[in-house]
Amino acid sequence: MRTQFPVSRRNFHAALPLTRSAQQETIVEQVIDRIISTFGMMRSLNEETLAQSRAVLTTYIEKLSAAGETDAQRLAVFGLAYLREIHDGRPEKYTGC
């Protein structure tokens, strides 16, 4: 079996992050679906609002993932808190510190 491009010692490791990135993308998509379905059960929101929330949430979760957060459970908790903040505003006890 012949590869499409020659793999030498120099570029062998260059292909490894692509596999991790594809796996991470799948995890991010699953986390986003989980957050949106959970948040949809907590609130009665129309489809348009959920679509807008999904777009904002996707950007947020992708940033967290790119920063190195890989735990799906933590991403889900952060995402739910982020959506609550967007829809409800900041908690009254929040001081900004």
Taking the model in full, what pTM does it have?
A: 0.69
Judge whether residue 2 has pLDDT over 70.
no
| H/E stretch holding 17 | helix 16-42
pLDDT at 78: 96
pLDDT per residue as tens digits for the range 6-60: 544 454 445 444 445 777 788 899 999 999 999 988 888 888 988 999 999 999 9
Select from 38, 40, 42, 34 the least CA-distant residue to 58: 34
- Kindly state the tokens that stand for 67: 């920063």
pLDDT at 96: 63
pLDDT at 94: 64
Select from 46, 56, 52 the least CA-distant residue to 82: 56
pLDDT at 95: 65
Select from 41, 91, 33 the least CA-distant residue to 57: 33
pLDDT at 45: 82
The residue with greater pLDDT, 3 or 35, is: 35
pLDDT per residue as tens digits for the range 65-94: 989 898 999 999 999 999 999 988 877 776
